[in-house]
Amino acid sequence: MARVQIKGGEFPIGKIFSKEFVFRIPLYQRPYAWQREQCEELLEDLLSFLGNGTASIADLNPYFLGSVVVIKEDHKPNAEVVDGQQRLTTLTILLSAIRSLIGSEDAKALTEYIYERGNPIEETEDRFRLTLRDRDAEFFRNFIQKEGQIEELRGLNLAKLNDSQRNIKQNTVVFLDRLKSLTDDKRKRLAQFIVKQCFLVVVSTPDFASAYRIFMVLNNRGLDLSHSDILKSEIIGKVPSAEQEKYASRWEGTEEILGREAFVDLFSHMRTIYRKVKLKETVLEEFRQYVVGAMPEPKKLIDDVVVPFATAYSHLKDADYESASNADEINRLLKWLNRIDNTDWLPSAILFMARHGDDSKALLKFLIDLERLSAIQMLSRATINERIERYGRLISAIEKSGDLHEEKSPLQLTAEEKREAKQILNDDIYNLLPKVRMYVLLRLDAAMSGGGATYDHSLITVEHVLPQSPGIGSQWNSWFSNPVEQVELVHKIGNLVLLTRKKNSSASNYDFDKKKASYFSKGGVSPFALTTQVLAEQEWAPAIIRKRQAEIVAKLGTIWRLA
């Protein structure tokens, strides 16, 4: 049997997007899935490495973007992507966004990294550096890779796009909005930095079987030595030998209670508590500098930091706080916080619980305001940098024992944040990210049911009452004869319900009575207060949606104190 050759090499993005590679995403790959969070983090990291100076791009520290696994024959550019489509697609979007905002000559140069122009004399067609799956390829070429159409993405109706295209649109808008805040020179330097100083490792093999094995090894290899293992060795090693076994046992017992993965995460959260800004080096390096540096005595570090913070983290992630009073309310809030689409709230919560966990009244008051802040930041899509800066100020306020509930505290919403939140709630909330709209609707439903509802259903979906595409001649057309009014109301929160079943496109278009009887309920009953409210209605006309919209937004305003 011929020996399969596996090759690997590190390449700058300028080489990745050149004649040396023609990347294609095969049909078996999942859709493009990166969302706003990952894109914001990537761009902010790149800008951080680029800095604000005027040094030569070649003198800047390089930025490593990870690895790509491809099926590729020697000396041929065609490369089928087994792993790495998210990075390649996102980088193409970013380069295209920069291209749309810089001078024509620089834009022309950037195009060379996006596609190679065809030559009518040689009768060659445009050759794209990256081709997405068939169902997304034309969309990507028209709006991202070709010139002149990228701003047109803003006007596309999300409801008419598939998940991959929706992510492409939303991520493009994220990049465009952030890039517009930069100077022309900064945008050009960013493009130069990406092309020259950003690197990917490409691992190639000529057949699928070996490529897949490489992918599995890179992504599923057994337990690697983590930063917590290295820190354990360093910290326990400084404990007097007579007490090393005692402290090693305490360390390992704490890790066992939390679980290995959460224990590793704990060190990142502890670093944030002491550092209060976004990670710039590695967790290991910054933990050594800022945590061990502030608490150099190893026994004290374990007794006063690692163990109490681990205990607090365990209660927070498992929502199992125990107290003679307020425990149920506290654990309900913790379950909501654990539904937030990021974990940036955790370090401040760990610090507060470690310091004030014995005072259930103070803890409850703190968590009420923390859930409010975290939910509104998620709703308004605060960037990762904005969140980290805000929580850093909150950590400082906790350390200083300041009044966290006074108006100017970083724990409290500003007047502008309240105004923006109400505006978002009044807008087309269905077009928010699925996890965000689900959070809002479940939070609302719990409040409508008296606050004690639990959601342990295996499946919960969001459904429109007025369908997105009512059938011609249906009951809906008589109630919504004005198509403008129909478009205005269809995605509002007042027109949404929760179901414990998969979406059914045909049932979505049922007339109202049939929809209530056979789709929104089982035997005329729904487990959701939000849906039960709709079942009580006899018709579903514009005035009813508007009335319900106003009541719901007012209810959410009360929950999160937006007045």
Which backbone phi and psi does 194 adopt, to 5 degrees?
Answer: -60, -45
Task: Name which of 458, 7, 403 is nearest 203 in CA terms.
Answer: 7
Q: Measure the CA–CA gap between 451 and 371, rounded to whole angstroms.
A: 14
Q: Which residue has the tokens 């990075």?
A: 87
Q: Based on the domain organization, do 45 and 134 belong to the same domain?
A: yes
Counting the structural domains of the chain, the total is 3
3-state SS class at 541: coil
Q: Are residues 534 and 430 in the same domain?
A: yes
Q: Residue 384: give the domain boundaries.
A: 228-414
User: Which residue intervals of 198-259 are DSSP H helices?
Assistant: 208-220, 227-237, 241-258
The CA-CA-CA angle for residues 464, 470, 476, to 5°, reads 90
In the block, residue with structure tokens 């207060």? 529
**Domain co-membership, 374 together with 258:** yes
Single residue among 414, 439, 467 that ends a domain in this structure: 414
Q: 125 near 30, Cβ under 8 Å? A: no
SS3 annotation, 224-240:
CCCHHHHHHHHHHHCCC
Q: Are 25 and 131 in contact (CB under 8 A)?
A: yes
Residue 122 amino acid letter: E
Q: What is the reported pLDDT for 519?
A: 83
Question: Is 86 inside a domain boundary?
Answer: yes
pLDDT at 3: 55
Q: Are residues 526 and 378 in the same domain?
A: no
- Do both 203 and 236 map to the same domain? no
Task: Answer yes or no: do 297 and 170 share one domain.
Answer: no
**Going by DSSP bridges, is the β-strand pair 461-464/22-24 parallel, antiparallel, or unpaired?**
unpaired
Using CA atoms in the order 188, 193, 195, 197, what is the torsion angle rounded to 10 degrees? 170
CA atoms within 13 A on the CB side of 113: 26
Cα separation, 498 vs 464, whole angstroms? 9
Parallel, antiparallel or unpaired: strands 63-71 and 22-24 = unpaired
Q: Are residues 173 and 313 in the same domain?
A: no
| Structure-block tokens of residue 229 | 């293992």
What is the SS3 assignment for 199?
A: strand
Statement to judge: residues 395 and 290 lie in one domain = yes
Domain assignment of residue 33, yes or no: yes
Closest CA to 168 of 133, 125, 128: 133
Residue 450's alpha-carbon distances to 453, 454, 520, in angstroms, are 7, 11, 21
Asked if residue 288 and residue 173 are part of one domain, the reply reads: no
State if pTM tops 0.85: no
User: Is 11 part of a structural domain of the chain?
Assistant: yes
Q: Are both 365 and 484 inside the same structural domain?
A: no
The last residue of a domain, from among 394, 414, 434: 414
- Indicate whether 419 belongs to any domain: no
Residue 258 resides in a domain: yes
> What pLDDT tens digit does each residue of the chain (563 aa) get?
455 577 778 999 999 999 999 999 987 677 888 988 899 999 999 998 998 888 899 989 899 998 888 888 878 899 999 888 999 999 999 999 999 999 889 999 999 999 998 877 777 788 999 999 888 999 999 999 999 899 999 988 887 888 889 999 999 999 999 999 999 999 999 999 999 999 999 988 887 777 766 666 655 544 445 678 778 878 888 888 888 889 888 898 898 888 888 998 999 999 999 999 888 888 888 999 999 999 999 999 999 999 999 999 999 999 999 999 999 999 999 999 999 999 999 999 999 999 999 999 999 999 999 999 999 999 999 988 899 999 999 999 999 998 999 999 999 999 999 999 999 999 999 988 889 999 999 999 999 887 666 666 668 889 999 998 887 878 888 898 888 888 999 999 999 999 887 766 667 778 888 888 888 877 667 888 888 888 888 999 999 999 999 999 999 999 999 98
Asked, for residue 396, whether it belongs to a domain, the answer is: yes
Residue 2 falls inside a structural domain = no
Which strands sit side by side in the sheet containing 22-24, from one edge to the other? 7-12, 198-205, 63-71, 78-83, 22-24, 130-131
Cα Rg for the chain, rounded, in angstroms? 27
Beta bridge partners of 464: 496
Task: Give yes or no: residues 171 and 285 share one domain.
Answer: no
Q: Are residues 383 and 518 in the same domain?
A: no
pLDDT at position 222, please? Answer: 41
CA distance 438 to 527: 15
Which of the listed residues 175, 204, 220 is the one where a domain comes to its end? 220
Residue 1 domain flag: no
What is the reported pLDDT for 457? Answer: 64
